[in-house]
Amino acid sequence: MRFLFIVNPIAGRGEGKKKWEQIKVVVEELKLDYEVVFTGEPGESVFLAEEGVAKGFDVLVAVGGDGTVNEVVRGIIEAGAKGDVKLGIVPAGTGNDLVRTLDIPFNIKEAVHVLKNGHVKNIDLGKVNGDYFLNVVGIGFDAAVAEEINNNIRWLKGTAAYLYGIFKMIFQYKSPEMVIKIDDRELEGRFFLVAIANAKYYGGGMMIAPDADPADGLFDICVIKDVSQMEVLKVLPALFKGNHVKHPAVKVYRGRKVFVKSKKRVLVQADGELKGTVPMSFEIEAKTFPVLVP
């Protein structure tokens, strides 16, 4: 197996480059057949991954956070190698939400061992607007927070940015009326947020869908009804352990296809990236993307 490591040197607040030096030691100890490339600007991992596919590497290893992982996946897909070329991940980001769901170790040595001795898991991909997502789509409150972070709080990163954004938005946000279709089921009402989850985590460690399995061919759809601001603040800490699902305003559904519409401007984010507003539909592509996991 030939490995191409795609390293984001600025991931994890500039730690990426230093992490690579540690990774390299283990990679050489294990005698992996490898090459390494470094990104020089945002988005470059997509291009480097496409090049890696063209050069015939079997595994492309994203060294970075979820941003780098998403870009490498996009590169593999755009090169037409979905299902053929495998994804490896050595976490070096601030968030690394996919890694948490897949139980890939944060310890460098252990993560590199997974590349050599782990097994292949074919995970599901979420589809939105012809694009793919790995973790979670958020509709409503969390997308409003993502917009706020994008526009006004770029100086903070990861969970800190989310928490700040949440406290800022909570007093401005009004739960909109929405219609949510999940396969043959239809829900209607005022919703605080809808999270369409392939994996369990988003926002750098918030466990929005504690029972989501990224290889079961299904989305876990977490629907939160309109709740008071005080109630949100009370439930928020429970989100880190996934205990929010016990709250009476929270319900989790499973499905393959989701459609959401509203008469209001309701924002959508996918893996932290703003996608626009509803109406929008979401579909799962079951078990198509091979990833090396423990």
Ligand X SMILES: Nc1ncnc2c1ncn2[C@@H]1O[C@H](COP(=O)(O)OP(=O)(O)OP(=O)(O)O)[C@@H](O)[C@H]1O
Residues that bind ligand X (CB under 6 A): 8-12, 39-44, 64-68, 71, 93-96, 158, 204
CB of 97 to ligand X, least distance (A): 7
Nearer to ligand X, 91 or 140 (CB): 91
Q: Look at residues 142, 141, 140, 164 and name the one whose alpha carbon lies nearest to residue 152.
A: 164
Tell me whether residue 174 is exposed, middle or buried, using C-beta atoms within 10 angstroms of its C-beta: 0 to 12, 13 to 18, 19 or more.
exposed
Look-up: residue for tokens 């700040």?
164
Nearer to ligand X, 64 or 290 (CB): 64
CB of 43 to ligand X, least distance (A): 5
CB of 77 to ligand X, least distance (A): 16
How many residues comprise the chain? 294
Nearer to ligand X, 141 or 202 (CB): 202
Q: Look at residues 101, 88, 45 and name the one whose alpha carbon lies nearest to residue 220.
A: 101
Nearer to ligand X, 10 or 278 (CB): 10
DSSP-assigned beta bridge partners for residue 122: 290
CB of 121 to ligand X, least distance (A): 20
Residue nearest to ligand X (CB): 65
CB of 53 to ligand X, least distance (A): 18
Nearer to ligand X, 106 or 167 (CB): 106
Distances 9 to 15, 18, 62 between C-alpha atoms, Å: 7, 8, 11
**Torsion angle, CA of 7/33/119/91, rounded to 10 degrees?**
-20
